[in-house]
């Protein structure tokens, strides 16, 4: 299967890229103009703006007292190794790690299930369309798919929100759970979570599914011109075997890459949907962090996003070696 040497090389590769990402994550937010201490005072304790003692203490606490960027970078790396991403300005005095730990599961749940559901529905749809290339159902569904994938996905969210939560109020407008409710059981809680997730997940599925379906369809149509498909027909195999074991099996390879990398972006990718539905995930948190110039939180979230993308790439590489025998393992 996967050789140790291959694994080691991929892991080293991943570490180097991760280091690059960490470094960029440190320097990029510092390009934004403005002063985080002042932003913090505006955000939280408005009355303390003029107080030099408070300003000095916050500057100290945020590690900004030494203006040397390289020194700050060094401190950043040291603290990072100790699992400390600093203290959030906006959610002061919560630490960045604790904010992320609270928010991450919501995002993983929302965007993860949205992406996976979109792939699970989109890929079979693509296979269905490719097999019926050029027929009326194919033309209609493919055109509709192209139309939908050209719509910005938050707009789809807005439409769903207005229709299903405002006009006919069958789904909640916002949040991940009902506010101020005590649950009789864990199932009641989970039910409430699912109920709140229907609209945001639907938004993601509607937005992502056409892309996966069309990619699967187009790849499979190309594959169906290959000689081995003609061989499969000549062998007298039943249609479902040719469709699944020959055509779809080969066409799914590039789509897997697409879905895998999309899963890596999931952590930050659902920002607009989370914002729209006031969903307490990382995207929503990132949005407020940017608004309030919350450097540590921004850095923390960006770091998580980049690490997830890098990790997803690694996983895609691993999966690829398992599903495509032509990819070399050495």
CB of 228 to another protein, least distance (A): 5
Residue 233 C-beta: closest distance to another protein, Å: 6
Site for another protein in 236-265 (CB under 8 A): 236-238, 241, 245-246, 249-250, 253
Residues in region 46-75 near another protein by CB under 8 A? none
Task: Return d(Cα 161, Cα 199) in angstroms, integer.
Answer: 7
The answer to whether residue 277 forms part of the interface with another protein (CB under 8 A) is: no
For residues 92 and 83, what is the distance between their CA atoms, to the nearest angstrom?
A: 18
User: Rule CB under 8 A: is residue 131 a binding residue for another protein?
Assistant: no
Residue 167 engages another protein in binding (rule: CB under 8 A): no
* ∠ CA 55-289-38, rounded to 5°: 20
C-beta of 136 vs 168, nearer to another protein: 136
CA 84, 88, 94, 96 torsion-angle sign: negative
Q: Is 277 helix (H, G, I), strand (E, B) or coil?
A: coil
- Which of 20, 287, 47 lies closest to 279, judged by CA? 287
Place of tokens 């890596």: 264
Task: Closer to another protein by CB, 118 or 224: give it.
Answer: 224
CB of 260 or CB of 300, closer to another protein = 260
Q: Does 235 bind another protein (CB under 8 A)?
A: yes
For residue 322, state whether it binds another protein (rule: CB under 8 A): no
- Nearest approach in angstroms of CB 235 to another protein is 4
Which of 70, 186, 326, 330 is in the footprint of another protein by CB under 8 A?
Answer: 326
Residues 241, 167: Cα–Cα separation, whole Å: 47
Nearer to another protein (CB atom), residue 1 or residue 186: 1
228, 244, 322, 329: residue in contact with another protein (rule CB under 8 A):
228
- Is residue 165 classed exposed, middle or buried when 0-12, 13-18 and 19+ CB atoms within 10 A define those classes? middle
Nearest approach, Cβ of residue 135 and another protein (Å): 11
Choice between 162 and 322, CB closer to another protein: 322
User: Whole-number minimum distance, CB 222 to another protein, in Å?
Assistant: 13
Pure H helices in the chain: 4-27, 36-43, 52-61, 69-81, 96-131, 136-149, 153-160, 186-223, 227-234, 239-241, 249-269, 271-276, 282-291, 295-323
Residue 141 in tokens: 């569904």
Question: 81 to 120, contacts with another protein by CB under 8 A?
Answer: none
Q: Which two tokens stand for residue 216?
A: 């699967």
Closer to another protein by Cβ: residue 287 or 320: 320
Q: In the complex, what is the shortest distance from the CB of residue 226 to another protein, in angstroms, rounded to a whole number?
A: 6
Q: Which of 233, 244, 291, 329 binds another protein (CB under 8 A)?
A: 233
Rg, the chain, Cα only? 24
Residues that bind another protein (CB under 8 A): 226-228, 230-238, 241, 245-246, 249-250, 253, 323-326
């Amino acid at each position: 299967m996967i050789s140790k040497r291959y694994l080691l090389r991929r892991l080293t590769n991943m570490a180097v890229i991760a280091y690059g990402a960490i470094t960029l994550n440190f320097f990029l937010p510092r390009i934004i103009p403005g002063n985080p201490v002042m932003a913090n005072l505006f955000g939280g304790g408005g009355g303390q703006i003029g107080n030099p003692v408070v300003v000095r203490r916050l500057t100290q606490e945020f590690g900004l007292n030494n203006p040397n960027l390289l020194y700050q970078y060094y401190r950043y790396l040291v603290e990072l190794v100790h699992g400390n991403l600093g203290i959030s300005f906006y959610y002061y005095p919560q630490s960045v790690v604790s904010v992320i730990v609270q928010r991450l599961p919501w995002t993983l749940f929302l965007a993860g299930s949205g992406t996976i559901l979109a792939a699970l529905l989109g890929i079979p749809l693509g296979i269905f369309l490719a097999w019926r290339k050029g027929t009326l159902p194919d033309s209609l569904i493919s055109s509709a798919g192209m139309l939908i994938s050209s719509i910005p996905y938050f707009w789809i969210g807005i439409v769903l929100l207005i229709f299903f939560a405002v006009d006919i109020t069958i789904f909640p407008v916002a949040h991940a759970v009902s506010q101020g409710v005590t649950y009789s059981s864990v199932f009641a809680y989970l039910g409430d979570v699912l109920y709140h997730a229907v609209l945001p997940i639907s938004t993601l599925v509607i937005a992502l599914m056409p892309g996966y379906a069309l990619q699967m369809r187009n790849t499979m149509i190309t594959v169906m011109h290959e000689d081995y498909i003609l061989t499969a027909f000549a062998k007298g195999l039943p249609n479902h075997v040719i469709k699944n074991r020959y055509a779809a099996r080969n066409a799914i390879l590039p789509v897997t890459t697409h879905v895998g990398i999309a899963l890596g972006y999931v952590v930050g990718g659902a920002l607009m949907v989370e914002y729209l539905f006031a969903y307490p995930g990382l995207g929503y948190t990132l949005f407020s962090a940017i608004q309030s110039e919350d450097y540590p939180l921004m850095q923390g979230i960006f770091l998580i996003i980049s690490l997830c993308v890098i990790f997803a790439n690694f996983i895609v590489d691993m999966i690829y070696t398992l599903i495509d025998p032509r990819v070399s393992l050495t």
